[in-house]
Amino acid sequence: MADARTSSSMSPADLAALANAVEALEKTSFAARATALLGRQIELAGKLVPAKISTAVSKAAASALKAAMHVALSSLKNRPQKDSRAFHRTLAAASGAAGGAFGLASLPVELPVSTTVMLRSIADIARAEGEDLTNPEAALACLQVFALGGQSAGADLMDGGYFAMRGLLAKSVSEAAAYVAQKGVVDEAAPVLVRLLGQIAGRFGVVVSQKLVAQAVPLIGAVGGAAVNVAFTDHFQSLAKGHFTVRRLERLYSPDIVRAEYERIAIASGLTPKRQNKTADASANV
């Protein structure tokens, strides 16, 4: 990058911001949040969701991401920077109350609402970290956040962590951004966008299944459903803050410098280092 710093010395403030990003992106899972909230194991239960329900969740996740991409990103263009996370948590709680009260039957209606709310919040966080959402690549980076939340708690840094997922999505994001830039519109039926949304939906669906299990806990009801949805929204807001902090620092320094510091911090925090595969190594500028 032409304006990136050449020195590998990051400021104390930037190192602290990066450490917070590592914490959010590598150590926090929605399953852990839900387990703390409900006092029971959610991650394992999410893996035992019947195939029929998993199929319904996958379809709902894909539809929700498609709707959110069109509605939320388009409506955020040229709005002033602001931190509206509290407002979006309130909207998420309202939609979660419906999910808690009506369960799986409400998913096709509730999930697009809560996903659109979250994506608007993610886009606000992106703007606050200096992203230009009129740039297709930056706009699609908002959608990437939904793929970052599907790893298990304690997933290996180099095998299933943040940079690995960016690497897996790199080609699809690049092709989708080029398509949107060329066409000037978002056509959800375009093959490049369908492929990207499919990749993201597969990971997003993991967390949606965990959310569904949490909301299905006996007696949780509407009030508990709202609390689960707030945790759901907080989870993706935290991932967004980490993701766009890393991207901001990559613009300020360089992708190589930031990644080296990221891995150093992660290892110091007790994560086991392993070399990523070549696909993941392609993630530096995505």
174-216: pLDDT as tens digits: 999 898 888 766 677 789 988 999 999 988 988 888 887 777 6
Predicted local confidence at residue 253, as pLDDT: 95
Give the distance, in angstroms, between the CA of residue 111 and the centroid of all CA atoms in the same chain: 15
Predicted local confidence at residue 81, as pLDDT: 47
Residue 32, pLDDT > 50, answer yes
Q: For residue 62, count other CB atoms closer than 10 A to its CB.
A: 18
Place of tokens 């690497």: 167
Reported confidence tier of residue 80, pLDDT bands at 50, 70, 90: very low
Share of the chain above pLDDT 70, in %: 65
Instruction: Write out 91-119 in H/E/C secondary structure.
Output: HHHHHHHHHHHHHHHHHHHHHHHHHHHHH
Residue 87, pLDDT > 80, answer no
Predicted local confidence at residue 19, as pLDDT: 95
* pTM for this model (two decimals): 0.80
Predicted local confidence at residue 11, as pLDDT: 94
Per-residue pLDDT, averaged over 35-57, amounts to: 64
How far, in Å, are 8, 53, 117, 212, 238 from residue 48 at the CA level?
A: 46, 10, 28, 12, 26
